[in-house]
C-alpha cells in the first residue's frame, strides 16, 4: 500500500466514494455524500465545486460525455466519473482507514471511544 500520499480530506473522500459506482452530476454527488456519511457531511455548492476543481486538476475525476437520460436531463449539467488514478487513490485511502481501525481495535478501543 502506498503510504506516501497525504490523506484525503473528508469531502474529497466522500466525493470519490459517490463516483465509485457510476457518473453523477453535482446535485447527485451532494446527495450521495450526505447519504453515505449518514448525514454527517453536507456539502454546499461552494464546497462541492471547490473539491471537484481540485480532484479534476489532480486527475482523479474527469468529465463524462455520457448522459444516463439525455431526453429528460438538462444538457447544461455536467457529469463526472472516477479516473483510474482516482479509483487507485480511493483504494489507498480505504486501506489507510482500514489499517487505522484495525490498529484501534488491537489497542482495545471500541467505537464509543472507551478502552476495555
Residues engaged in binding other proteins (CB under 8 A): 25-27, 30, 43-50, 52-53, 74, 76-78
Cα separation, 87 vs 97, in Å, equals 15
Sign of torsion over alpha carbons 86, 88, 93, 97? positive
Furthest C-alpha separation in the chain: 57
Cα separation, 1 vs 102, in Å, equals 15
Least distance (Å) from other proteins to the CB of residue 36?
18
Cβ proximity to other proteins: between 38 and 44 the closer is: 44
Cβ proximity to other proteins: between 30 and 82 the closer is: 30
Categorise residue 38: left if φ over 0, alpha if ψ from -120 to 50, beta otherwise. Answer: left
Cβ proximity to other proteins: between 19 and 43 the closer is: 43
Least distance (Å) from other proteins to the CB of residue 29?
9
Least distance (Å) from other proteins to the CB of residue 25?
8
Amino acid at each position: 500500500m502506498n503510504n506516501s500520499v497525504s490523506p484525503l480530506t473528508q469531502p474529497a473522500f466522500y466525493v470519490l466514494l459517490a463516483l465509485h459506482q457510476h457518473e453523477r452530476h453535482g446535485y447527485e454527488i451532494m446527495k450521495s455524500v450526505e447519504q453515505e456519511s449518514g448525514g454527517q457531511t453536507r456539502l454546499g455548492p461552494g464546497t462541492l465545486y471547490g473539491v471537484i476543481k481540485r480532484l479534476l486538476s489532480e486527475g482523479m475525476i474527469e468529465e463524462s460525455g455520457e448522459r444516463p437520460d439525455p431526453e429528460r436531463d438538462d444538457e447544461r449539467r455536467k457529469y463526472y466519473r472516477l479516473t483510474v488514478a482516482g479509483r487507485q487513490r480511493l483504494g489507498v485511502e480505504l486501506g489507510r482507514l482500514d489499517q487505522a481501525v484495525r490498529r484501534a481495535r488491537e489497542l482495545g478501543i471500541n467505537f464509543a471511544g472507551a478502552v476495555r
